[in-house]
Structure 1
């Protein structure tokens, strides 16, 4: 009986939007994945881990993706442009969140939060 086919585009989307909940890890590895539960335990850190996960998943070549996640599915991945668009949007959103976090950290450290 063939295993279910894990879609790379869906995995990238789950990591970009819901990576802080670990949904991409639950989709790929199931309920027994330790790191999926760790995302739920540490949501502030998991936001950035989700963005990094989306970039890693999206930039993985289809052949390597199939060898790792779809070896027994009997299907071949052909992710195409939607994954590239998701990677670009994830990079933009993640870098914006990182810069905002750094700016807020400096604001709190240097002024005690006087600017917001």
Structure 2
């Protein structure tokens, strides 16, 4: 009686923590990290490009209509907040415990398998995501509040006249 053979897990199917961190940082606003980890059927991955596209549209409106376009005041921060959230997700992927990573994303592999290990490329992804994500987040907050308060001052000036 022969035992059924089980194929060794394919390394192409394993999900690397490093790749996921870089995809979240670089391609997160397009949902690339979600597609990498959860497949093309991930609905959140398909929703991520929506605020990204709206933010880009807001930037185009500012270039065409100028700084006084109120719709762009709402749309541009969507891009910034989406980019900052994806950078945060990249940081979380990079800082994930390797055993927990492999249990969740590579259940067919051993807990200490290579795809869940932290490498120098993972650390660079974390550092860059932290720097860029924090910068984009602060710039988005500053942009939003500046235009909101300018609008409030202008409306108060109209009322007082």
With the length of structure 2 as denominator, give the TM-score of the two structures: 0.63
Q: Equivalent residue for 1:76?
A: 113
Q: Equivalent residue for 2:103?
A: 67
Q: 1:111 aligns with which of 141, 150, 153?
A: 150
Larger radius of gyration, structure 1 or 2? 2
Q: 2:28 aligns with which of 19, 25, 44?
A: 19
Deviation at 1:73, TM superposition (A): 4.2
Q: Unpaired segments of 5 or more residues in structure 1?
A: none
**Aligned equivalents of 1:104 and 1:15: distance in 2?**
24
Q: Find the residue that maps to 1:42 and give its secondary structure.
A: helix
Alignment RMSD (CA, Å): 1.8
Q: 1:33 aligns with which of 35, 42, 58?
A: 42
With the length of structure 1 as denominator, give the TM-score of the two structures: 0.85
Give the total of aligned pairs: 112
**Aligned equivalents of 2:127 and 2:51: distance in 1?**
26
Q: Find the residue that maps to 1:72 and give its secondary structure.
A: coil
User: Is contact 1:21–1:46 with CA below 8 Å preserved after alignment?
Assistant: no
Q: 2:83 aligns with which of 47, 52, 75?
A: 47
